[in-house]
Amino acid sequence: MPRSAGDLDLTFQALADPTRRAIVERLSRGQASVSELAGPHAMSLPAIVQHLALLENSGLVRSEKVGRVRTFRMVPAGLSLAEQWFDRRRAQWQRRLDRLGEHLERFPDGEPKTGR
Amino acid sequence: MPRSAGDLDLTFQALADPTRRAIVERLSRGQASVSELAGPHAMSLPAIVQHLALLENSGLVRSEKVGRVRTFRMVPAGLSLAEQWFDRRRAQWQRRLDRLGEHLERFPDGEPKTGR
């Protein structure tokens, strides 16, 4: 049973591997079968299947088996929470820079000296 | 020696832990000493120091020691490549939806039948 798409630990863990990132890149262009996904990688099929299982467990992708073919597709919502995490960090950082800018405008020569 | 800020494996690995994400969140609001960073966490100081070492090695944060106090700060560029990776996935996904939308506009009743 895949965990919820919102688990940032699993999302970032899933993305911390170049093969898994390449698979997500491939799937963000459209769905693909296991053999299509394995194609570009010099890796055993069981190793690819293990990467796919980890990706599916993270909620970034899901799969469906029709007959003997298992097809994978992206779950865009799986990336959303991670993107939002970056957006919040960026916003916090920007607020910090804004405050610093205001401070430098008010005191271009540094802090006013005490007793002046 | 910290690896380059652009190493996505290390960046995502660093972010795959709630304590390390909390430290990055704290540092995106401003620099902090090791003891300030350890404060909110029910965790031994050596455990925090290990998380900080992993974060510094990923290029997300850097530290400076003045006297006996080591101070950590964010390296915003450390997040940039990871953000760009998400942006590219989002863009690919959007292009896919656009193509699908165009297709549905051209053929609202599905693919034209052969021989019609």
Round to whole Å and give the CA distance between A37 and A64. 14
Q: Do B8 and A21 touch (CB under 8 A)?
A: yes
- Once rounded to an integer, what is the mean pLDDT over residues A28-56? 92
Q: Is A76 or A47 the better-scoring residue by pLDDT? A: A47
Shortest Cα distance, chain A CAs vs residue B76, angstroms:
8
Q: How many CB pairs (< 8 A) connect A and B?
A: 74
pTM: 0.81
Taking each helix axis from N to C end, the angle separating A18-27 and A8-15, rounded to the nearest 10 degrees, works out to 100
Lowest mean pLDDT across A40-49, B18-27, B98-107: B98-107
Q: Which residues of B touch A13 (CB under 8 A)?
A: 12-13, 16
Q: Which residues of B touch A8 (CB under 8 A)?
A: 15-16, 18, 21
Tell me which amino acid residue B22 is: A
| Pair of tokens at residue A39 | 């194609």
Is residue A60 a contact partner of residue A42, using CB atoms and an 8 Å limit?
no
Q: Do B12 and A16 touch (CB under 8 A)?
A: yes
Round to whole Å and give the CA distance between B21 and B74. 12
A55 in B contact zone (CB under 8 Å) = no
Summarize pLDDT for B10-61 with one digit per residue, the tens. Answer: 999 999 999 999 999 999 888 999 999 998 988 999 999 999 999 999 999 9
In Å, what is the CA distance from B26 to each residue of A54, A99, B44? 29, 16, 18
B69 in A contact zone (CB under 8 Å) = no
Burial A30-61 (b: 16+ CB within 10 A, else e): ebbebeebbeeeeeeeeebeebbebbbbbbbb
A30 in B contact zone (CB under 8 Å) = yes
Shortest Cα distance, chain A CAs vs residue B50, angstroms:
18
pLDDT (0 to 100) of residue B111 = 66
Lowest mean pLDDT across A12-16, A89-93, B88-92, B112-116: B112-116
User: In a mutagenesis test of the A interface, which of B84, B92, B99 is the best target, namely the one with the most A β-carbons within 10 Å?
Assistant: B92
Summarize pLDDT for A49-95 with one digit per residue, the tens. Answer: 999 999 999 999 999 999 999 999 999 888 888 888 888 888 888 88
Round to whole Å and give the CA distance between B43 and A49. 36
ipTM rounded to 2 decimals: 0.80
Shortest Cα distance, chain A CAs vs residue B7, angstroms:
10
